[in-house]
């Protein structure tokens, strides 16, 4: 941004060390990130003068004020208070809704990755709408963070990079109304409902008697429906989606309803709560059933989307459980030809019944499917990544301090069998490199080995929260100090990694 020419401002800025991309002025007040202290950033607010009339704006921030070349300058911490005050001054620091724009969610477990994420978006021409505040409640719990902390960390990154093209904030994998309330209070704009606990995976294999009993026991009042009415809607019709014919018979309908009926009731309840407490505020919804045991068939997709729409739920993105395996931090596992054919039908359904985006959850490092997903959805797609940015932090550690990465890896191996319980992963300790056998050279390639990568991926919570009896957090403290002292190294690794993710989507991207 071009700042107004002013000799006193020039002299004041010469006295400070402001990150150039962060400089912005509004109503005579200049804002920027002060990087005078290595590894420690502060907010700088520079008034037009040191006159009392400038005091009200400076008074909204916390920090120390001094006069430099005739201007009042406040320098304060990157605190929640200052984040809120800065958002009130600079509207572009508030997240927005993204609608059907081709989008990518960048999870950030450490709160330092936003510069690298934005560098990658810029490197591909800025054609991808970024979601920069994204962390599930499960991950927040494991990293001892709050929705507000996640929001503020991303916002400081947006401010520091001078990103004014908009960004989203994903309240990810929400399971309770209280989760909604906490994230709404922090200003999130994208709400991912996770009804996985309400999906009946056994529906696929139930015998007739059990299937009929489970069907009769569905929460019909919550679904505003009856058994007969449901049968009448589906058994008397068939659907065609761009040449893909979807037909229900009684067994298919019962299995779809038993599998997803309670999940539909749950999503409806969550949606209505959000619509009530979020009235008058910008928000949009994603629905995710990806973390379930069995794939979402095309019949089930039609049933799920049609019933949600009948109940008044509106959403911009849906994450079915696709065929094959989307495991954490590694390539897609499965037959790509079969995936392409299956995904193409899901995309046709989404266009006809929405339109809405199809979402790729656990989507990081699935390089073989990105071009397929972009092409078949015609750009109406959302890619969600999470732990891969943490893994790039560990890669950076391996480059700068291999001893630290070896210690983290040995600790991760000890905790893997416990921490893997809530994830779909197939890494095995007996196939992973032995910690005691690692050299500096092999440590540098640890993030490229399938089993080691997943072991490090799912143990992040144990690593980041590990504390000694006297309360020290050695892994977290050393990791954060290293990354804050060498931010350019982390940013470069993130940029290189995410450019590979984003490029396949650019050809089909749209606003």
Mapped onto helix, strand or coil, the DSSP state of residue 339 is: helix
At residue 234, φ and ψ (nearest 5 deg) are -100, -35
Of 108, 161, 179, 286, catalytic: 286
| Cβ atoms 105, 170 nearer than 8 A | yes
In 10 A of CB 454, how many CB atoms?
A: 25
Taking the CB of residue 471, how many other CB atoms lie within 10 A of it?
Answer: 6
| Cis ω before 355 (30° cut-off from 0) | yes
Select which of 54, 152, 172, 225 is catalytic. Answer: 172
Picking from 298, 317, 300, the residue whose alpha carbon sits closest to that of residue 199 is 300
| Contact (Cβ atoms closer than 8 angstroms) between residue 202 and residue 294 | no
**Helix-, strand-, coil-residue percentages of the chain, each rounded to 5:** 50, 15, 30
**Is 228 an active-site residue?**
no
The question of whether 284 is a catalytic residue gets the answer no
DSSP state of 171: E
Q: Which residues of 194-227 are buried (b: 16+ CB within 10 A; e: fewer)?
A: bbbebbbeebeebeeeebeebbeebebeebebee
Burial class (CB in 10 A: 0-12, 13-18, 19+), 20: exposed
Buried b / exposed e over 251-289, threshold 16 CB at 10 Å, is ebbbbbbbbbbbbbbbbbbbbebbeeebeeeebbbbbbb
Active site residues: 172, 286
């Amino acid at each position: 941004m071009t700042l107004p020419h002013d000799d006193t401002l020039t002299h004041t800025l010469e006295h400070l060390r402001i990150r150039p991309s962060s400089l912005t002025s509004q109503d005579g007040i200049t804002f920027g990130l002060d990087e005078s202290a290595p590894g420690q950033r502060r907010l700088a607010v520079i008034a037009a003068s040191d006159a009392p009339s400038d005091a009200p704006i400076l008074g909204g921030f916390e920090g120390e004020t001094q006069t430099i070349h005739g201007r009042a300058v406040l320098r304060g911490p990157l605190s929640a208070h200052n984040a809120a005050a800065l958002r009130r001054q600079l509207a572009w620091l508030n997240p927005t809704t993204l609608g059907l724009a081709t989008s990518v969610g960048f999870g950030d477990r450490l709160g330092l990755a936003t510069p690298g994420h934005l560098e990658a978006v810029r490197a591909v021409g800025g054609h991808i709408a970024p979601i920069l505040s994204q962390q599930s409640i499960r991950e927040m719990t494991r990293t001892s963070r709050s929705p507000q902390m996640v929001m503020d960390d991303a916002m400081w990154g947006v401010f520091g990079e001078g990103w004014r093209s908009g960004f989203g904030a994903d309240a990810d994998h929400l399971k309770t109304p209280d989760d909604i309330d906490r994230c709404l209070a922090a200003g999130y704009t994208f709400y991912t409902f996770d009804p996985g606990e309400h999906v009946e995976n056994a529906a696929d294999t139930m015998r007739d008697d059990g299937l009929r009993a489970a069907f009769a026991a569905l929460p019909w009042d919550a679904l505003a429906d009856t058994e007969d009415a449901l049968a009448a809607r589906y058994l008397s019709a068939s659907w065609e989606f761009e040449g893909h014919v979807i037909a229900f018979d009684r067994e298919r309908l019962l299995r779809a309803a038993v599998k997803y009926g309670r999940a539909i009731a749950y999503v409806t309840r969550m949606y209505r709560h959000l619509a009530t407490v979020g009235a008058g505020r910008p928000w949009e919804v994603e629905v995710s059933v990806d973390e379930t045991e069995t794939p979402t068939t095309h019949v089930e997709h039609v049933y799920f989307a049609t019933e949600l729409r009948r109940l008044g739920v509106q959403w911009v993105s849906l994450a079915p459980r696709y065929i094959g395996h989307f495991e954490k931090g590694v390539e897609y596992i499965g037959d790509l030809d079969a995936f392409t054919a299956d995904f193409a039908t899901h995309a046709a359904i989404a266009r006809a019944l929405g339109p809405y985006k199809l979402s790729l959850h656990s989507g990081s490092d699935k390089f073989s499917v990105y071009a397929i997903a972009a092409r078949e959805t015609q750009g109406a797609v959302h890619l969600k990544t999470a732990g891969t940015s943490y893994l790039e932090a560990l890669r950076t550690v391996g480059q700068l301090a291999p001893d630290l990465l070896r210690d983290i890896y040995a600790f991760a191996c000890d905790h893997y069998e416990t921490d893997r319980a809530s994830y779909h992963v197939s890494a095995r300790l007996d196939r992973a490199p032995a910690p005691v056998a690692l050299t500096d050279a092999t440590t540098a390639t640890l993030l490229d080995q399938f089993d080691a990568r997943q072991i490090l991926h799912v143990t992040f919570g144990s690593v980041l929260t590990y504390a000694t009896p006297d309360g020290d957090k050695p892994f977290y403290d050393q990791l954060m100090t290293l990354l804050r002292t060498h931010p350019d190294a982390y940013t470069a690794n993130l940029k290189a990694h995410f450019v590979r993710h984003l490029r396949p989507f650019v050809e089909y991207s749209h606003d």
